[in-house]
Amino acid sequence: MPTKATAAKPKSGKKLVIVESPAKSKTIGKYLGEGFVVEASIGHIRDLPQPSDLPAELKKTSIGKFAVDLDNDFKPYYVVSPDKKKKVAELKAALKDADELYLATDGDREGEAIAWHLLEVLKPKVPVYRMTFAEITKESLQRALGNLRDLDTDLVDAQETRRVLDRLYGYEISPVLWRKVSRGLSAGRVQSVVTRMVVVRERERMAFRSASYWDLAGTFTPLNSDEAFRAKLASLDGQRVASGRDFNDAGELTGKNVAHLREESAKAIASALETADFTVRSMEHKPYTRRPAAPFTTSTLQQEAGRKLRFSSKSTMQVAQRLYENGYITYMRTDSSALSDEAVNAARRQAAELYGTEFVPQAKRVYANKSANAQEAHEAVRPAGDSFRTPAQVAGALKGDEFKLYELIWKRTVASQMADAKGSTATIRLGAAFTGPSGNQDAEFSASGTVITFRGFLAAYEEGKDEVRGSEDSDADRRLPNVKENDALRAADVAALGHETSPPPRFTEASLTKEMEERDIGRPSTYASTLSTIMDRGYVRKQGSALVPSWVAFSVVRLLEQHFTDYVDYKFTAGMETGLDRIAKGEEVGANWLKHFYFGDDHDAGLLNIVNNLGEIDAREINSIPITDGITLRVGKFGPYLESSVPTLDEKTGEIIESARANVPEDLAPDELTAEKAVELMNTAAPEERVLGTDPATGRSVVAKNGRYGAYVTEIIPEPTAEELANAPVEYYKNGKPKPPKKPVKAKPQTGSLFKSMTVEEVTLDQALQLMSLPRVLGADAEGHEITVQNGRFGPYLKKGTDSRSIGTEEEIFTITLEDALAVYSQPKQRGARAAVPPLAEFGEDPVSGKAIVVKEGRFGPYITDGVTNITVPRDTSMEELTRERAVELLADKRERGPVKRTTKAPAKRKVAAKK
């Protein structure tokens, strides 16, 4: 591809510039002016197809399994996405009128790959230039035009290797999860490891045992002053008083030479100290200095937006993307904290103007990158331009979340070039000898305080903090009295305080992103999408701001840890990222790296060999988690449940129940399922099944059950007897040989949901027979249309064809007459009240995606969605008939079918009149 140095540029003519997004093209178009035509590719134009969509002749080749040619250096088989064919045609048409082509996609691996795909598909015959910039401003674009370069094929190789790697990983391991845990699950190179992090933290919380400890605190006042201050007991008889950090997660004291105070002794000591004579034993002053935090990287931006603005990682990146594309901030995917000289000067100039020259240090601040592999975008996230716009200057253009995030970025950037905060820290140690429960004793208290004398960068910005286990109250800005050694003090309110050690805090999106960065798992461009994926897959849910793993995630992680150990190992995963970085630097070839990963060598088995030699995996064992003696949690097809193997006595019937089950509430976090809670759930679980009697019409047994979706009654269909199977008619092949006997199709049992006023324990056989007889036919209207009455999700209703009408109570189902029904249908149907309230229905969480199932009113009628999969409510199913079971079934069917394959009609042939 020609570059500025190797190709002479035409002096005039149209210049076609291609970027990724329409918003970006609009902003760039304003700055480039006449002579430039800016178009957007709208992301990638090509990708790997699903193997099922490959041409028939390729499905049986080495390409067929992954849409990657395993026998030809893992060469990907790319296709233009169906929804991008029109866009490709538009770009080709624009290129015909252009004299030059500028590929101006982002400067990271993804942007480089998009540019390469554009070259491969458009096949330009005009000079091509690679143009990159970190911000969309007039100055930045002018600099970019003066620094054109070649396409970086190493970056392309790294992105392509990552894309193939993720497909190999997902397509080989995911089917194992389908077979042994549940359909619809997925494994991913980064998502599986991050899911493991959340599960491991929850295991630590489940194994945690709290320990209690006591300490003392009091209020002290110098005799010559009324300036009181609080102090805590630091040591007793020369031993440091135990605090939370002196106990391990098993509740055991691990601190050496510490005094572990119990409640009784702590209260006795507090009582004895009320009359003790306290004196100041030491007073120490130290200077205090605090440096500002570095400018934002992608990771720290997501963390701080989560702490201060309560943004999710996904929301942060979406808002940042809009700010970047509209020219307000620099490129938001970066692991570099460096600032350009122009940015440093802008920040220092603005800090001096707004806060004073004394708030700006003489020397410029330079921040080293924490990541050794920081390379792709060489600058931190900051306000765009060689001079920054203040929040007040953009307030008219930016609203809501965009303004909040811009203000956060502006504050952090300006503060990073401001002076240190200055002050002093004072520590007072005071003590008293007293007669306590152990005789003559000595107690020493301590208090610290920090006084800020010069705020420095704190005038603009202060960094937020994550929850830290065992953290103490901050001493910042706590003033202490001016005392000296041996000064006497008055003591008041000396009290014993009890404490419990706390378990490791759950991850939040901010702290999990920080953990990913520290372990070198994932890259800036993947943090937000990874967190979104593990929540969309149902592996993790948010409880407030905390991330709570599902029981399905426990099963998935357990299987991966036992059978794919390396592939969820933190160091192994970080090593893969390092390998991709080496490819991006040209230090390694992607094809060779993939060959080692997939096929292995003498030292490593490789993914293919591991999958082919898995051996027998006990699905029941993988999906079982012991909770306490005799009670095990099982992860079933329709969710988690408890199973007891300890025989229990049914107090009502006097029967011995060999095993029992109990559903686990969906909102119960794993660490809350203690042994005591499990026993409680088992003891309060309603019976799963109660025999009511025999249906006189069919002779079949009728039972009442508690199902996952509520209580219901049903009949038991007996299995065919050996005699019935032997007497079944024999079918023959055309050659006269008998066909193997077919497995009899089991009849579908009659069922009926219990009314809200009924329970499994109290429902009678007569009531059950009535419920199973529904729907009840009332008769027909004047036109001969049959009218029925039945029960549904929203209560009892009438149905005539596709016209359904709600009625009063459930009991009316068996009392309403045809005349009553005709009277209801004589009135116009009321739609306004229900249609105006979205959603139309809610059915709880989907067992596959874990997301909420709702029914919404769409352009073409009501549809069911879990936020990922959508399916229109069938025309023959009214809203009153729609149940949770049916909604789950319809979504599952839609997932099995996959996305609708859109076919493009061939253009109609023009009719040409025959020549005479």
Helices marked H in 370-419:
391-394, 400-415
**Rounded-to-integer distance, Cα 540 and Cα 503, Å:** 19
DSSP 468-524: -TTPPPP-BT-------TT-EEEEEEEEEEEEE--PPPPPBHHHHHHHHHHTT-S-T
Q: How many CA atoms lie less than 13 Å away from 298 in the CB half-sphere? A: 28
Alpha-carbon Rg for the chain, nearest whole angstrom, is 35
**How many CB atoms lie under 10 A from the CB of residue 748?**
7
Residue type at 535? M
* Distance, C-alpha 478 to centroid of its chain: 39
**Rounded-to-integer distance, Cα 497 and Cα 431, Å:** 18
Taking phi first (over 0 means left), then psi (-120 to 50 degrees means alpha), and beta for anything else, what does residue 790 get?
A: beta
Whether the Cβ atoms of residue 584 and residue 154 lie closer than 8 Å to each other? yes
β-bridge partners, 632: 626, 643
Q: How far is CA 809 from CA 79, 267, 537, 757, 834, in A?
A: 58, 62, 39, 11, 18
Whether the Cβ atoms of residue 233 and residue 217 lie closer than 8 Å to each other? yes
Whether residue 51 is preceded by a cis peptide bond, meaning omega within 30 degrees of 0, is no
The helix (H) or strand (E) run that includes residue 144 is: helix 138-145
**Rounded-to-integer distance, Cα 514 and Cα 201, Å:** 15
**Rounded-to-integer distance, Cα 189 and Cα 171, Å:** 11
Whether the Cβ atoms of residue 735 and residue 774 lie closer than 8 Å to each other? no
With b for 16 or more beta-carbon neighbours within 10 A and e for fewer, the 660-692 pattern comes to bebbbeeeebbbebeeebbbebbeebeebebeb
At 321 the three-state DSSP class reads helix
- Tokens coding 57: 């002749």
733 a catalytic residue: no
Backbone angles phi, psi at 739, to 5 degrees: -80, 150
Residue type at 430? L
- Tokens coding 189: 């190179």
- Tokens coding 499: 């404490």
**Rounded-to-integer distance, Cα 432 and Cα 737, Å:** 104
**Rounded-to-integer distance, Cα 831 and Cα 833, Å:** 6
Catalytic residue from among 328, 331, 461, 797:
331
- Tokens coding 789: 């009455």
Q: Catalytic residues, which ones?
A: 331
